[in-house]
Amino acid sequence: MTLLPDQISYLTDLRQALHRQPEISGEEEKTAASILEELEKLGPDRIWTDLGGHGVAAEFAGAADGPTVLLRCELDGLPIREISEVLYKSEVEGKGHLCGHDGHMVSMLGVAMHLGQRPATGRVILLFQPAEETGAGAQAVIDDPRWPEIKPDYAFAYHNVPARPLGEIGVRAGSGNCASRGMQILLEGKSSHAAAPEDGLSPGPAMAALMNALPALSHGVIGDTDFALSTLTHANLGEPTFGIAPADGELRVTLRCMTNERMEKLIADALALVDQHCTGLRTEVHWHDIFRAVVNDEEATAIAAEVAHERGHVLNEMQLPMRWSEDFGRFGDDGAKAAMLYIGSGENCPQLHNADYDFPDALLPTVIDVFCGIVDRILGTN
């Protein structure tokens, strides 16, 4: 589908307006309200609100029975201060759309413009999902009691990928994005005067051992089924004083694997190290930002690749998965034939989550064209 110049201009202005007012995971109330307002203008057959939090979904139904195709995007920004010279930079202190979810939302609104002419069969669900950045949003949507009304046969999404040519369509059947999770280790001993540390129990030695042992669990390189990465991200010991031998400590580590099965082994190995090195200390382990691996369905991936090729877009059949994580994999776990696309946002585009990142508006026509093509391929046109 080719949108008219005034439609692209409208979507660009909307994207930049969303960019100014980012909301982080779980707080997307105003963003969801803006999306709802735009969807209502486009006349879907049904709208769901407050899905899994602040999620919004819209249905565009064909005249005959057929499969349900879900197209998913994300509502949330990041708790990162934007450093940018753009006129539409974030107006919310300490928060920014520095992953491109503003562009993802507007892309799907562009698809909704196309869906004014309904598909021949089945139905399209556009899902504007909350809380992707924490890994909680997709599962919260699936756990919503209204999910059976939406549950798709096919599910597609995309992420923009810096350092790749603008508009290049990356596809990969099988492993697409790594599983990951945050491991928070809390250690409690006994404080003492710094002149008599032997009368206390400091977690310092255990922390020092874990700071070496946990990263050493890393193994292999991305692409290996046995790939594992254990990254130390935070350490804190006691208070910033000179007179107290500390009682408390905290470590944070991110665990990352290409498969969910390998993640289970990495978790077990990490917990074994905590047990090994923390004798005598009271320890607690808490898990955060839990992402399952994205495993792209072969049929859905092939459909996306064929559409991209037939419509004249540059196709990259990727040899390696992404090391970063995405909670879109939950939809495949739930039974949909799911595929994520990895669409280049420019070779000079700043990295995702960089303080100066900005979604390239020039990418919108390509994304909209590909996703409209996927819908037309599966459901047909009137």
The enclosing domain of 151 has a CATH number of 3.40.630.10
Query: Do 38 and 110 share a structural domain?
Result: yes
Query: Do 239 and 92 share a structural domain?
Result: no
Query: Do 326 and 263 share a structural domain?
Result: no
Query: Do 109 and 55 share a structural domain?
Result: yes
CA 144 to chain centre: 19
CB atoms within 10 A of CB 9: 12
d(CA 255, CA 268): 11
Sign for the pseudo-dihedral over CA of 239, 241, 246, 250: positive
- Residue 145, pLDDT > 60, answer yes
Q: What is the pLDDT of residue 1?
A: 57
d(CA 177, CA 242): 45
161 SS3 class: strand
> What is the 8-class DSSP label of residue 198?
G
Query: Do 324 and 195 share a structural domain?
Result: no
The CA distances from residue 306 to 41, 237, 313, in Å, are 32, 54, 10
Model pLDDT for residues 163-210, shown as the tens digit of each residue = 999 999 999 999 999 999 999 999 999 999 999 999 999 999 999 999
DSSP state string for 327-362: TTHHHHHTT-EEEEEEEE--TTPPPTT-TT----GG
- Residue 64, pLDDT > 90, answer yes
The enclosing domain of 237 has a CATH number of 3.30.70.360
d(CA 156, CA 152): 10
Binned at pLDDT 50, 70 and 90, residue 311 comes out as very high
- Residue 251, pLDDT > 70, answer yes
Q: What is the pLDDT of residue 3?
A: 82
Average pLDDT in the 237-253 region?
97
Out of 291, 309, 333, a domain closes at 291
Please give the share of the chain, as a percent, with pLDDT higher than 90: 98
Query: Do 132 and 203 share a structural domain?
Result: no
Please give the share of the chain, as a percent, with pLDDT higher than 70: 100
Reported as half-sphere exposure (CB side, CA atoms, 13 A), residue 314 has a value of 11
Contact 56, 38 (CB under 8 A): no
Q: What is the pLDDT of residue 382?
A: 77
Query: Do 106 and 43 share a structural domain?
Result: yes
Average pLDDT in the 131-147 region?
98
Out of 264, 291, 318, a domain closes at 291
Domain count, the chain: 2
The CA distances from residue 280 to 134, 206, 207, 213, in Å, are 33, 10, 13, 18
End-to-end CA distance of the chain: 14
Domain of residue 331 covers: 5-176+293-379
d(CA 183, CA 273): 13
Binned at pLDDT 50, 70 and 90, residue 2 comes out as confident
Query: Do 81 and 188 share a structural domain?
Result: no
